[in-house]
Amino acid sequence: MPPDSRRSIGAGSGGTSRDPALAPPSGQRPRRSALLLTIVVAIVVPPLLVTNALRVLATETFVRAELSRDGFPDDPYGLPVDARERLALVGLRSIEPRSEGIVLLERERLPDGTRAFGERELAHMADVRSVFVMVLVGQLVVLAILVVLGLALARTGLRTALPRGLLAGSLVTLGIAVLAVPFMLLGFDRFFTRFHEVFFEGDSWRFSTRDMLIRLYPEQLWQDVSILAAALTVGQAVVVGLLSWWWLRTLRRREG
């Protein structure tokens, strides 16, 4: 066999040479990584913005303003305004991460000396506290991850992934708002029911109009919370979208 033939066979069987057509395209892996990061960021943006809005509203300032505003329904069983506000604020503090929790509600008494909250109400507020704390922890974790990503990717080929994800997430949030807000406004009872069915088991969240939780936090309060939360979420989405667009445009100009 001619030497040239042996060399060509040896090179083919040894596997030391590769067909260029089988090699992955240059830059394909970074593009996939950038796309994955963009999608992940876009997914976490809507719940993060909603959580931010709820955190703003879960404050003593909002509760006081809501209970004292014109048109807010009075307690149907004659609970004094000052006692109602005090109990409502205790309820808010009982779900906060660093408070004593449900013990605060167990201590509360009405002006006649009877317990302010029943066992089912205490159990429900314990569930609310668990969900609230979990959501707040998730909020902090996501914010920390976004900051770390922004710093870590700033000088890499993936630096546009974060602003792209934030921009996409803000647009997704606005799209969800367009679909969800009319449903929320036109069918609030159904929306309220669906919300509780997602986070709480069975009928543990259903109460009589005589129960203190309903008297402190009537449906009107939750309607107002929903409208304000939607408005705050949309406002955040617009701001995040504009800032992300500006960030992305700045990076592209530098690359150009």
Rg (CA), the chain: 28
Lookup: tokens for 226: 């929903």
Q: How far is CA 251 from the centre of its chain?
A: 28
- Residue whose C-alpha is closest to residue 156's, from 33, 44, 244, 40: 33
Residue 96 lies in a domain: yes
As given in the structure block, the two tokens for residue 140 are 């902090």
pLDDT tens digits, one per residue of 201-227: 888 899 999 999 999 999 999 999 999
Exposure class string for 124-135: b at 16+ Cβ within 10 A, else e: bbebbbeebeee
Q: Cα angle at 171 between 163 and 141, to 5 degrees?
A: 55
Residue 198 belongs to some domain of the structure:
yes
Q: For all residues of the chain together, what is the average pLDDT?
A: 89
For the whole model, what pTM was predicted?
0.84
List, for residues 136-183, the tens digit of each pLDDT value.
999 999 999 999 999 998 888 889 999 999 999 999 999 999 999 888
Question: What is the structure's pLDDT at 254?
Answer: 80
Residue 13 belongs to some domain of the structure: no
pLDDT at residue number 256? 63
Domain count for the chain: 1
- What does the block give as tokens for 110? 């009405």
Q: 26 lies in a domain? A: no
pLDDT at 197 > cutoff 60: yes
115 backbone dihedrals φ, ψ, rounded to 5°? -65, 140
Question: Does 206 fall in a domain?
Answer: yes
What's the confidence (pLDDT) of residue 184?
Answer: 86
Nearest to residue 239, comparing CAs of 40, 52, 38? 52
Structural domain includes residue 232: yes
Residue 183: what pLDDT?
86
In which band, very low, low, confident or very high, does the pLDDT at 5 lie, cut at 50, 70 and 90?
very low
Are 162 and 153 in contact by the 8 Å Cβ rule? The answer is yes
Mean pLDDT lowest among 68-77, 101-110, 185-194, 228-237: 185-194
Span 31-56, pLDDT tens digits: 888 899 999 999 999 999 999 999 99
In a domain, 18, yes or no: no
Domain hosting 104: range is 43-255
Q: Is the pLDDT of residue 253 over 80?
A: yes
Mean pLDDT of 12-22: 49
* Residue 59 maps to a domain: yes
